[in-house]
Amino acid sequence: MYPPRNLIKSALFVAILTAVLTLGYRNLDYNWQWYRIMPYFFPAQGSGLLVQGLFITLKISGIGLILSLVLGGMSAMARLSPYPVLRILAWIYVETIRNTPLLIQIFLIYFVISPVLDISAFWSAVWALSLFEGAYASEIIRSGILGIDKGQIEAALGLGLSKPVIYYKVIVPQMLRSTLPILAGQSVSLIKDSALVSTISIYDLTMQAQKIVSQTFLTFEIWFAVALCYLIITASLSFLIRQLEIRMKYIH
Please write the tens of the pLDDT for every residue from 41-95.
Answer: 988 777 789 999 999 999 999 999 999 999 999 999 999 888 999 999 999 999 9
The residue segments making up the domain with residue 165 are: 47-248
* Top-confidence residue, 242 or 195: 195
The model's confidence at residue 147, banded by pLDDT at 50, 70 and 90, is confident
**Number of domains within the chain:** 1
Classify residue 196 as exposed, middle or buried by CB count within 10 Å of its CB (0-12, 13-18, 19+). buried
Whole-number average pLDDT of the chain: 86
In this prediction, what percent of the chain has a pLDDT beyond 70? 95
* Residue 51 and residue 42 in contact, taking contact as beta carbons nearer than 8 Å: yes
The pLDDT assigned to 252 comes to 52
Answer yes or no: is 28 within a domain: no
| pLDDT for 1 | 47
**Between residues 249 and 62, the one the model is more confident about:** 62
Query: Is the pLDDT reported for residue 38 higher than 50?
Result: yes
pLDDT over threshold 90, residue 207: yes
| Higher pLDDT among residues 11 and 232, named by residue | 232
Amino acid occupying residue 136: Y
Q: Provide the CATH number for the domain around residue 59.
A: 1.10.3720.10
**Is the residue at 40 inside a domain?**
no
Where residue 214 falls among pLDDT bands split at 50, 70, 90?
Answer: very high
Average pLDDT over residues 19-36: 78
Higher-confidence residue: 19 or 129?
129
For residue 11, being part of any structural domain is answered with no
The more confidently predicted of residues 201 and 125 is 125
Q: Give the integer Cα–Cα distance in Å for 54 and 234.
A: 13
For residue 23, the SS3 value is helix
Say if residue 143's pLDDT is above 50.
yes
Mean pLDDT of 161-165: 74
In a domain, 6, yes or no: no
Cα–Cα distances (Å) from 23 to 16, 26, 96, 224, 242, in that order, read 11, 5, 46, 17, 36
- What's the rounded Cα separation, in Å, for the pair 95 and 203? 31
pTM of the predicted protein model: 0.82
